[in-house]
Structure 1
Amino acid sequence: MTEQKPPEETTPMQRALPGLLIAGSLGGVGLVMVSLLSLAPPVDDGSGSLAAAAHAEPTKVEVANAGAFVLPATVGPGGKGKVLTPARPDAPPPLAALPVVPPIPAPKTTSAKAKPKPTRIKIPKIKVNAPIGAVTMTSKGKLGTPSPSKPNQTGWYRYSPLPGGVGPAIINGHVSTRKGPAVFDRLRELAKGDQIYVYRSDGKVTRFTVSGIEQTSKTTFPTNRVYGNTANSELRVITCGGVYNKTTHSYTDNIVVYATLSKKKG
């Protein structure tokens, strides 16, 4: 697979989408997924034709399980004791938990060195207080991740919006390394209404409020929902989840937290 580099003269999310469309593992983090659920085909057990069976009255068991394999139309709120599931592929991002505030205007400087960057992320509920570095595309066209040798490091995709700016800023981090739990080990515990703080090099502090959380398989990923442009300032925090494969050293799923800017200062 050839490397895909975002064009230099397009919007941040237009630059991000080509690489982010690639499904696959991201080492310890991973940034893609899909539902493994599907409806089972009818089975002819010899008791009658399938056509006749289609018109038969459903059994109590069938009625009880009628919605078992139907994905929800919206991203769930999460919460204690709630099982995380993916939303329908065409579901939109979840609605903001609190009234949104206007995005922070983009800096006027054209110098890359002078542009502000996110420096630290704090999530009080799960005791995260971690530095933020920059990640970009790998030579294989996949989104990079922080070094496994720094389990407390998080990564901001440098072609996504600056947290606090218009659109969805992307921050990822490992759930674990071969040495044990990593920075986002407890990310799946977040729920609608929880707070995420992102600090920037220009002294501004942004508070995002979680609006929803889902767990989805890496074999398909809700690209538009996660990376699509938005009118507000939003945040996506992503890590791995599901079953760990010791052979490939990767997880089957991703945990995706959606949040919207609800306060800013500085």
Structure 2
Amino acid sequence: MAEQQKPPTPQPAPQKTPMQRALPGLLIAGSLGGVGIVMVSLLSLAPPVDDGSGSLAAAQDQPTKVEVQNAGAFVLPATVGPGGKDVPLTPARLDAPPPLAAVPVVSPFTPVKTKTAKVKAQPIRIKIPKIKVNAPIGAVTMDAKGKLGTPPLTKPSQTGWYRGSPLPGELGSAIINGHVSTRKGPAVFDRLRELAKGDQIYVYRSDKKVTRYTVSGIEQASKTSFPTSRVYGNTNNSQLRLITCGGVFNQTAHSYTDNIVVYATLSKKKG
């Protein structure tokens, strides 16, 4: 730094008017307002994110930007909420992990390996006591565009297990979806949003094995920012994902704006 000069003899400071005293604060406030406008503009240019209809293999490890209306009005939580009575469901940040288990977990079933060609076990029924679900489980797959299928609308009481996901009770995240409603009225997962941390889900298999999962969290996420990695990503234990529609029904598109996702972890097994 340059050598400092001897300061001049201090003179009495002139009295400032109220406007002069307020001016620095006004300048700072104006600057922050300008920054806020710039930030809102940048967020409005954020790229769209995966809506869950693409290839499941496209799950990303890095967080993806979310375009949020009224930017700055709220911040997405870092974890999936527990849900509960009269608790609004909200989405978590896309880079947030699945919620922690509500109760101690048990080890998954070990897949049976045989040399003879046999029909593999299938999940056949799901029971959720809290919301009075006792429904058969069919199978769903992905179409050529990578979109996950759903049970037939003609069978509103049936759920669908994604055959590309693990068999319930085995290592990984088993995916089961179902309709929230059809033109005839409520469907199998009409009350799915009522589940909360600690609730129990039972899945029965064709090989007589029974799995009990305990809900660890639940969220409502926009289909324009579906949490692909959190739902379909690898896990180190046996987990279950239940998916249905939620939000506002778009009459033109004949679809809902959001998805309800329930996360659960294997807490008991039999067989």
CA distance in 2, matches of 1:86, 1:111: 46
Larger radius of gyration: 2
Q: Secondary structure at the match of 2:225?
A: coil
Counterpart of 1:210 in structure 2 is 215
Q: Secondary structure at the match of 1:219?
A: helix
Contact persistence 2:231–2:241 (CA under 8 A) = yes
Cα offset for 1:141?
A: 2.3
Give the one of 141, 145, 150 matched to 2:150. Answer: 145
Contact persistence 2:54–2:147 (CA under 8 A) = no
CA distance in 1, matches of 2:167, 2:115: 14
Task: After TM superposition, list the pairs within 5 Å mapping 1:71-220 onto structure 2.
Answer: 71-109=76-114, 113-220=118-225
CA distance in 2, matches of 1:248, 1:104: 41
Equivalent position amino acid for 2:68 in 1: L
Q: Secondary structure at the match of 1:131?
A: strand
Indicate how the Cα distance of structure 1 residues 199 and 192 shifts in structure 2: closer, same or farther if over 3 A, else same: same
CA distance in 2, matches of 1:112, 1:176: 39
Indicate how the Cα distance of structure 1 residues 166 and 247 shifts in structure 2: closer, same or farther if over 3 A, else same: same
Aligned residues with identical type, % of pairs: 77
Contact persistence 1:35–1:86 (CA under 8 A) = no
Cα offset for 1:137?
A: 1.0
Runs of 4+ deviating beyond 6 Å: none
Cα offset for 1:35?
A: 6.1
Equivalent position amino acid for 2:196 in 1: A
CA distance in 2, matches of 1:264, 1:212: 20
CA distance in 1, matches of 2:161, 2:53: 15
Q: How many residues align?
A: 215
Indicate how the Cα distance of structure 1 residues 124 and 79 shifts in structure 2: closer, same or farther if over 3 A, else same: same
Cα offset for 1:38?
A: 4.5
Q: Secondary structure at the match of 1:207?
A: strand
The alignment status of 1:19 with 2:55, answered yes or no, reads: yes
Higher relative contact order structure (alpha carbons within 8 Å, sequence separation ≥ 6): 1
Uncovered stretches (5+) of structure 1, i.e. residues with no partner? 1-15, 24-33, 41-65
Q: Secondary structure at the match of 2:175?
A: strand
Q: 1 or 2, which has the higher helix percentage?
A: 2
CA distance in 2, matches of 1:240, 1:131: 19
Uncovered stretches (5+) of structure 2, i.e. residues with no partner? 1-51, 60-64
Task: After TM superposition, list the pairs within 5 Å mapping 1:43-58 onto structure 2.
Answer: none
Equivalent position amino acid for 2:120 in 1: K
Q: Secondary structure at the match of 2:224?
A: coil
Equivalent position amino acid for 2:155 in 1: K
User: Could you give the per-residue CA deviations for residues 41-70 of structure 1, whole angstroms, max 9, x where no partner exists?
Assistant: xxxxxxxxxxxxxxxxxxxxxxxxx7x410
Equivalent position amino acid for 1:121 in 2: I
Contact persistence 1:22–1:142 (CA under 8 A) = no
Cα offset for 1:213?
A: 0.1
Task: After TM superposition, list the pairs within 5 Å mapping 1:204-243 onto structure 2.
Answer: 204-243=209-248
CA distance in 2, matches of 1:196, 1:106: 21
The alignment status of 1:37 with 2:68, answered yes or no, reads: yes
User: Could you give the per-residue CA deviations for residues 148-201 of structure 1, whole angstroms, max 9, x where no partner exists?
Assistant: 000001000001000000000000000001111000000000000000000000
C-alpha RMSD of matched pairs (Å): 2.2
Contact persistence 2:54–2:145 (CA under 8 A) = no
Q: Secondary structure at the match of 1:255?
A: strand
